[in-house]
């Protein structure tokens, strides 16, 4: 990408999109385009068409999506599949019709079957049943992947798809009903410490294993792929190692300084038993994650405390 190219980051205020925006600015890209959801509702096809008709876009990072944790995905599954299908369909099609040179579509590792072999390789897509609690979101993301691939074949576009593992980082969502596991645990354990609680309840058994990717690493990978990858195959983005939820909670407890007990509520769902991605494809291209988990947690907690005290 030329440093002066017009680059649109869809979802530039979200966890992934804001990290991509920061990375672009840090690397000297000067013509960045962003619209908040109030300024541009990507679910509205007429609004999307008017936007693309009013600006010239060379490159597009599609990081806009309706996202959430297990509870939100399960309870609002209709909203998740509808909103995400509308967002990605409107943006991908407009990008094709208005001559965007290259688009990067951000998916998720929840696209893979619940019981797919570990670590999750890109070839596992559509080879088994999905995790029921996030099936609607996953199906929407799979549709986005297939739309990019179909457009590449029919129209000769350069639309690539990247599948990041569980994200965390600056600007994360700490709402206990809609957040992902790491920020939810961080908030619950912080509040337990502040309240002087003897224990903190954690959903599930604590046994599932998850991989956590800092949003700055994700952004670095997205820029790397935009500059160095033109393939039709999807590409996983991850760190290549995972941790049990119980171990994660213990690690967060140490960072927060919580000395109480962790009480695991086994009546609550665990979700997928394990989600570790195979990063051999992106590693072979020359990219690896660099942010250690303990360092990332400390940074996120510092930011959370600053926001809470503000």
What percent of the chain shows pLDDT beyond 70? 99
The verdict on residue 299 lying in a domain is no
Do the annotations mark residue 73 as ligand-binding?
A: no
What is the crossing angle of helices 135-155 and 77-97, to 10°?
A: 10
Report yes or no on whether pTM surpasses 0.75: yes
Beta strands (DSSP E) in 74-132 are: 102-106
Residue 47: phi and psi, rounded to 5, are: -65, -40
Tokens of 275: 């989600």
- DSSP character at residue 117: P
pLDDT above 90: residue 193: yes
Per-residue confidence at 232, pLDDT binned at 50, 70, 90? Answer: very high
Burial category of 19 from C-beta neighbours within 10 Å (exposed 0-12, middle 13-18, buried 19 and up): buried
Do the annotations mark residue 210 as ligand-binding?
A: yes
Do the annotations mark residue 11 as ligand-binding?
A: yes
Residue 86's domain is classified under what CATH number?
3.40.50.720
The verdict on residue 97 lying in a domain is yes
pLDDT digits (tens, 9 = 90+) for 126-178: 999 998 888 999 999 999 999 999 999 999 999 999 999 999 999 888 887 77
pLDDT digits (tens, 9 = 90+) for 37-91: 999 999 999 999 999 999 999 999 999 999 877 777 778 899 999 999 999 999 9
What sections of 196-292 are H helices per DSSP?
215-228, 245-256, 280-285
pLDDT above 90: residue 32: yes
pLDDT of residue 286: 98
The verdict on residue 256 lying in a domain is no
The verdict on residue 182 lying in a domain is no
Give the DSSP per-residue string, 219-232: HHHHHHHHHH---S
Q: Is 137 among the residues known to form the active site? A: yes
The verdict on residue 134 lying in a domain is yes
Domain count, the chain: 1
The verdict on residue 302 lying in a domain is no
The verdict on residue 76 lying in a domain is yes
SS3 call for 83: helix
Average pLDDT of the segment spanning 283-288: 98
The verdict on residue 176 lying in a domain is no
Average pLDDT of the segment spanning 281-293: 97
pLDDT above 90: residue 301: yes
Do the annotations mark residue 12 as ligand-binding?
A: yes
Q: Which domain holds residue 141?
A: 7-171+212-240+274-291
pLDDT above 70: residue 310: no
pLDDT digits (tens, 9 = 90+) for 248-274: 999 999 999 999 999 999 998 887 788
Do the annotations mark residue 21 as ligand-binding?
A: no
Tokens of 153: 């074949």
pLDDT of residue 73: 76
pLDDT of residue 196: 96
Which of the residues 112, 137, 151, 304 is marked catalytic? Answer: 137
């Amino acid at each position: 990408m030329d440093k002066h190219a017009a680059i649109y980051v869809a979802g530039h205020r979200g966890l992934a999109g804001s990290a991509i925006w920061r990375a672009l600015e840090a690397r000297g890209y000067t013509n960045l385009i962003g619209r908040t959801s109030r300024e541009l509702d990507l679910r509205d096809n007429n609004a999307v068409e008017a936007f693309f008709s009013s600006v010239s876009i060379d490159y597009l990072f599609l990081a806009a999506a309706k996202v959430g944790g297990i509870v939100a995905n399960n309870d609002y599954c209709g909203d998740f599949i509808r909103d995400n299908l509308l967002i990605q369909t409107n943006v991908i099609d407009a990008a094709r019709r208005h001559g965007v040179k290259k688009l990067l579509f951000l998916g998720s590792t929840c696209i893979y079957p619940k019981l797919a072999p570990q670590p999750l390789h890109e070839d596992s897509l559509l080879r088994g049943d999905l995790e029921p609690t996030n099936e609607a979101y996953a199906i929407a993301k799979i549709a986005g992947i297939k739309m990019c691939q179909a457009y590449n074949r029919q129209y000769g576009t350069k639309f690539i798809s990247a599948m990041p593992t569980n994200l965390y980082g600056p600007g994360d969502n700490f709402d206990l009903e809609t957040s992902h596991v790491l920020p939810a645990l961080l908030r619950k354990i912080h509040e337990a410490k502040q309240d002087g609680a003897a224990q903190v309840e954690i959903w599930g058994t604590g046994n599932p294993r998850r991989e956590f990717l800092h949003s700055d690493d994700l952004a670095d990978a997205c820029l790397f792929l935009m500059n160095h990858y033109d393939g039709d195959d999807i590409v996983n983005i991850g760190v290549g190692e995972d941790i049990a939820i119980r171990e994660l909670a213990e690690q967060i407890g140490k960072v927060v300084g919580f000395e109480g007990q962790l009480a695991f509520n086994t009546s609550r769902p665990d979700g997928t038993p394990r989600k570790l991605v195979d990063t051999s494809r992106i590693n072979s291209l020359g990219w690896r994650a660099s942010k250690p988990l303990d360092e990332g947690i400390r940074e996120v907690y510092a930011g959370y405390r600053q926001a809470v005290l503000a």
